[in-house]
Amino acid sequence: MESRIATALGLRYNPVAVVLGDDKPENALQFKKGRWGCVMFMFANAAKGRTAAFDAETYGCWGGGVGLGFGNAYLRFPGGVECFARFLSSGNKGWEKGKEVARGLEGAAGKEFMDNFLQGEGYTKTPELVNQWVEELPITEIKSTYVLFKPLGEVDLEAETPETVVFLANPDQLSALVILANYGREGMENVIIPWAAGCQTVGILPYREGRSAQPRAVVGLTDISARKYVRNLLGSEYLSFAVPTEMFLEMEANVPGSFLERHTWCSLMEADK
């Protein structure tokens, strides 16, 4: 499918369709079973034209398992959710279970992971706040075998319906997407920026919006760990903008006659050339 939005915005990268299915495309990128990897690294490759596939054994990391819809993968984090809550916040060095788990990981985990496990990533102030955040996540168990990231141009909407379409946008393009998301709707809050992992802002959070009566778009790639992993592939200026498919089609239909054909937007496009 060719996107009017992508053309009007002059996007550098392909919009990415998030598709749930039971068949894996030939030559799809996929993490090896049991190997760590960042889902957003695969997303970046999809934006550059490759298809990526994930299943319940190849989602890369615990947050990726949660983000893609393979249940509460935090239960499989070393030491369980208790240790994960400290990993994301103040660290596991200060309690006995955490120290015991760390001893068991010695030699098997990388230096950076071990430092974060013991000292904490510092993304949340306390473990209690992490537990509250996990409770708020729309943990999902997808019914399909695979989650696929596909360049939108390779998707035939008559044959398959994506859950979500995700754009990579610079500040000007993100501004235009926010305006377009609100263009034909009541209210001013048809776009949200939740605090979550990069994969969760293209996966379970847009999944949730797609099930709601009034779906909203989700701005993401505000996860600085994910930004670190995709920086060399994409550059530093992009955020993600994930739109449930129903809303995406609505926005596509609203391009003609909108501000995207008026002089203010066109002058911004000219200035970027």
CB neighbour class for 223 (10 Å; exposed up to 12, middle 13-18, buried from 19)? buried
Q: Torsions phi, psi of 19, nearest 5?
A: -120, 135
Instruction: Please tell me the number of Cα atoms within 13 Å of 26 on its side-chain side.
Output: 0
Torsion-angle region of residue 221: left (phi > 0), alpha (psi -120 to 50) or beta? left
Per-residue pLDDT for the chain (273 aa), expressed as one digit of tens each? Answer: 899 999 999 999 999 999 999 999 999 999 999 888 999 999 999 999 999 999 999 999 999 999 999 999 999 999 999 999 999 999 999 899 999 999 888 876 788 989 999 999 999 999 999 999 999 999 999 999 999 999 999 999 888 999 999 999 999 999 999 999 999 999 999 999 999 999 999 999 999 999 999 999 999 999 999 999 999 999 999 999 999 999 999 999 999 999 999 999 999 988 776
Tell me the one-letter amino acid at 142: I
Between helices 111-119 and 80-88, what is the axis angle to 10°? 90
Cα–Cα distance for residue pair 236/221, rounded to 1 Å: 11
Report whether 234 contacts 47 (CB < 8 A). Answer: yes
Cα–Cα distance for residue pair 68/46, rounded to 1 Å: 15
Angle ∠(197,14,137) on CA atoms, nearest 5: 20
Question: Considering just the CA atoms, what is the radius of gyration of the chain in Å?
Answer: 19
- Summarize the chain as % helix, strand, coil (round to 5): 45, 15, 45
The confidence score (pLDDT) of residue 106 equals 80
